[in-house]
Structure 1
Amino acid sequence: MNSRHEYLEEVLKWKEDVLTVLKDEGVNENESIYLRIHDFSTQLSRLVEEDASNEVLSVVQGEVAALHEEVEQYFIERQSHGSTFINETYVQPGKHVLPPLPYEYNALEPYISEEIMKLHHQKHHQSYVDGLNKAEISLAQARKNNDFSLVKHWSRELAFHGSGHYLHTIFWNNMTPKGGGAPGRLLLREIEKYFGSFDLFKKHFSEAAKAVEGVGWAILVWSPRSRHLEILQSERHMILTQWDTIPLLALDVWEHAYYLQYKNNKASYVDNWWNTVNWKDVEERFLKARQLKWKPF
């Protein structure tokens, strides 16, 4: 496959990612933005089957840029009218459940063993779900009884178990059996803009993960205030974090995530973990997160 066809295939993947975002946001398929993308998709599919010239590729690049601006503007307008997430249900206090893995327990081998995945998901993640539910129910009872004598304790439990539940939910989806490689063009461009290169980003992220003191996470986040990516460490699940940021890619470096397989060689676990990264999921999170922009300071 020549480079022109590779580019067109990449554009097709980007188009599917955008359609996924629209579907997840409940956008009606009869809206103009949907129809616009479907028309573009029909033309693009034909070009992939043909030997597209450089002139045609230039037109495609222009269309992609225009579509990107249209999609971004569409969500800005939805947000300004309060229509984003307006019909979404919410989790009532104490009703969180353990999400299923998006693959089999042995699917990430040889990088992460089936034994680790079962223990990590069924025992450790479940304990965070249970702890979060208990904290929410206890705080709801405190409000009902107007008794806040234990609010400090339950607030700590809420932060610890809630952060554990949410980060693990991101973590599972951040991985895939046939992962690795590099992100798509949009996220890659943002990474290169802030970190200098994809290799420098990987080095920074890996070293942050390896250097976490005790137990915790390395997390790639989007900052709506500064409008750029950043790499953070988090001890436990919620210490040393940076507020007003959105997690995109999370790596669990608690010992229960690797010790049965890698013993005390955390560095080897981190290095091998890159082979599992689901860049499609990370980019979908990025496309949604970057719609949120605060006034920069």
Structure 2
Amino acid sequence: MATTRMALRMALAIVLASAASAKKPIPRGCPTGTPNNTYANPALPLPYDGYLPAIDNETMFLHNTRHAGGAVNNVNAILARYPTLRDSVSLSELVSRIGLKTFDKKYGIAANDSTALRSNAGSAINHALFWRIMTTYNTSRPADHLKPELAGHIAAAWGSPTGLLDALRAAGASVFGSGWAWLVYFPDAAQKPLAIVTTPNQDNPLMAAHVARASRGVPLLGVDVWEHAYYLRYRNLRTTYLAQWVSLVDWAMVQRNYDLAVAGAIDSLYC
């Protein structure tokens, strides 16, 4: 357990060290940054109707602008009360450490704001990854994008990319209520490097204070199983949604996220 925690800290060291050493305010040179050092809701890679037939355009509009966009607005409103935190800590570091007693105490974060940041900053990061991991329906082939190392890890754990997606669908279907299913990378070489885990609500595998040790790692691929992600088209049929959603996975982005994680970094949207 201690080895896993240490390895994860090392894997995130580049991100955390750069945030800690940056001059205030952090120049958020990334898709989620704004000139006044707040966060913006990242644009979708495709038009709202670009996810058909798996996800309808109304769902994508509401999901992006109302649900994810609302979370980003909430993050900015909370961080306005903590300018030192806002200007010196990246969103990825905040999500990784929110709720830890030493972190909350250092920045004087009130308990209710810590809870709110857990949910809203988690939502902002989760959705940023979710948008970026999807592409046009049934156009991305694993064989065209996966390098031998990642393909080998997937084959060892699930037999094939199809087996991985089947396991991810099963995990997503098993979530009680709202949450996410993830493909996670573990930096600890002493254990299997990849696993599928689930988190409730808007929790993220980066969250040291809120996620079980066995589920802590760097998310490479995540699927939203909140009802707002699928209800307009599929009603309560989450398994049908998941069966369609896997055809949106952008394997080039899965490989990119893996390469970043192995190097100890996180996607640039997590700035």
TM-score when normalising by structure 2: 0.68
Q: CA deviation at 1:196?
A: 3.7
Summarize the Cα distance change of 1:113–1:136 in structure 2 as closer, same or farther, 3 Å threshold: same
Summarize the Cα distance change of 1:275–1:162 in structure 2 as closer, same or farther, 3 Å threshold: same
- SS of 2:80's partner is helix
**Structure 1 contact 135–155 (Cα < 8 Å) conserved:** no
**Structure 2 contact 27–37 (Cα < 8 Å) conserved:** no
Deviation string 1:85-142 (CA, Å, 9 cap, x unpaired) is: x888346997011111111110011110001000000111111101111222223489
Q: CA deviation at 1:241?
A: 5.6
**Structure 2 contact 44–131 (Cα < 8 Å) conserved:** yes
- SS of 1:101's partner is coil
Query: Mind listing any 5+ residue stretches in structure 2 that lack a counterpart?
Result: 1-10, 87-104, 204-209, 266-271
- SS of 2:74's partner is helix
Pick aligned residue for 1:235 from 197, 200, 212? 200
- In the other structure, the counterpart of 2:47 is 104
Q: CA deviation at 1:244?
A: 4.7
2:100 counterpart of 1:134: no
Q: CA deviation at 1:200?
A: 3.0
- SS of 1:249's partner is strand
AA aligned opposite 2:218: I
- In the other structure, the counterpart of 2:249 is 277
- In the other structure, the counterpart of 1:189 is 152
Summarize the Cα distance change of 1:155–1:272 in structure 2 as closer, same or farther, 3 Å threshold: same
- SS of 1:111's partner is coil
Query: Mind listing any 5+ residue stretches in structure 1 that lack a counterpart?
Result: 1-75
More relative contact order, 1 or 2 (CA 8 Å, 6+ apart): 2
Give the Cα–Cα distance (whole angstroms) in 1 for the partners of residues 58 and 85 of structure 2. 40
Higher mean displacement: 194-203 or 246-255: 194-203
2:103 counterpart of 1:160: no
AA aligned opposite 1:255: E
Q: CA deviation at 1:184?
A: 1.6
TM-score when normalising by structure 1: 0.63
Summarize the Cα distance change of 1:132–1:198 in structure 2 as closer, same or farther, 3 Å threshold: same
Give the Cα–Cα distance (whole angstroms) in 2 for the partners of residues 224 and 244 of structure 1. 10
Deviation string 1:123-181 (CA, Å, 9 cap, x unpaired) is: 111111011112222234899xx9x9871100111111001000100000100114453
Pick aligned residue for 1:214 from 155, 169, 177? 177
Give the Cα–Cα distance (whole angstroms) in 2 for the partners of residues 194 and 105 of structure 1. 34
- In the other structure, the counterpart of 2:38 is 95
Summarize the Cα distance change of 1:150–1:282 in structure 2 as closer, same or farther, 3 Å threshold: closer
Pick aligned residue for 1:113 from 40, 53, 56? 56
Summarize the Cα distance change of 1:288–1:150 in structure 2 as closer, same or farther, 3 Å threshold: closer
- SS of 1:117's partner is helix
Give the Cα–Cα distance (whole angstroms) in 2 for the partners of residues 136 and 177 of structure 1. 35
Pick aligned residue for 2:186 from 194, 200, 223? 223
Q: Percent identity?
A: 27
Give the Cα–Cα distance (whole angstroms) in 2 for the partners of residues 199 and 247 of structure 1. 19
Pick aligned residue for 1:291 from 253, 258, 263? 263
**Structure 1 contact 220–247 (Cα < 8 Å) conserved:** yes
2:110 counterpart of 1:151: yes
**Structure 1 contact 216–237 (Cα < 8 Å) conserved:** yes
